[in-house]
């Protein structure tokens, strides 16, 4: 029961449109801080998901975040206006590329937390 609640919580936190927010801050303020927030938040959520054995929630959440970002881009009509700014891929392509590239820090967070879990389990078995 505890893992189900935690999985739902992880999915809900992932449902923030991280890609859209990163692109919005890049477009409006010429700032990369949105991408930093995107990378840090998703890496932390991936680490928490790995430590608590909720990896399916991480995968569902990553996909949901990309879909919600794509939805926000279409609903707010930014797609056409942003295409010139996000050359050569356009705004829709950048969401896909940023989401795929964000899998790299998520994979690193997964590997680091797996290493931590192994160390902790080794210490428990040594006692």
Digit-coded pLDDT (tens) for 57-113: 999 999 999 999 999 988 886 767 888 888 888 888 999 999 999 999 999 999 999
Q: Which domain holds residue 95?
A: 2-121
Other CB atoms within 10 A of residue 80 CB: 9
- Sign of the torsion angle spanned by Cα atoms 23, 28, 33, 34: negative
Q: Tell me how many domains the chain contains.
A: 1
Q: What DSSP string describes 17-29?
A: -HHHHHHHHHHHH
Q: With bands split at pLDDT 50, 70 and 90, how would you rate the model's confidence at 127?
A: low
* Cα 69 to Cα 14, 54, 95, 117, 127, distances in angstroms: 11, 23, 7, 32, 47
Residue 85 lies in a domain: yes
Residue 62 lies in a domain: yes
Residue 126 lies in a domain: no
């Amino acid at each position: 029961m505890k893992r189900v609640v935690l999985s739902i919580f992880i999915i809900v936190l992932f449902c923030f449109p991280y890609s859209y927010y990163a692109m919005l801050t890049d477009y409006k303020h010429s700032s990369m801080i949105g991408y930093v927030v995107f990378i840090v938040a998703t890496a932390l959520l991936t680490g928490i998901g790995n430590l608590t054995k909720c990896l399916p929630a991480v995968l569902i959440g990553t996909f949901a975040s990309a879909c919600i970002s794509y939805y926000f881009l279409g609903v707010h009509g930014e797609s056409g206006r942003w295409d010139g700014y996000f050359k050569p891929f356009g705004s829709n392509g950048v969401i896909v590329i940023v989401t795929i590239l964000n899998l790299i820090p998520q994979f690193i967070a997964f590997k680091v937390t797996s290493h931590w879990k192994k160390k902790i389990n080794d210490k428990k078995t040594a006692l």
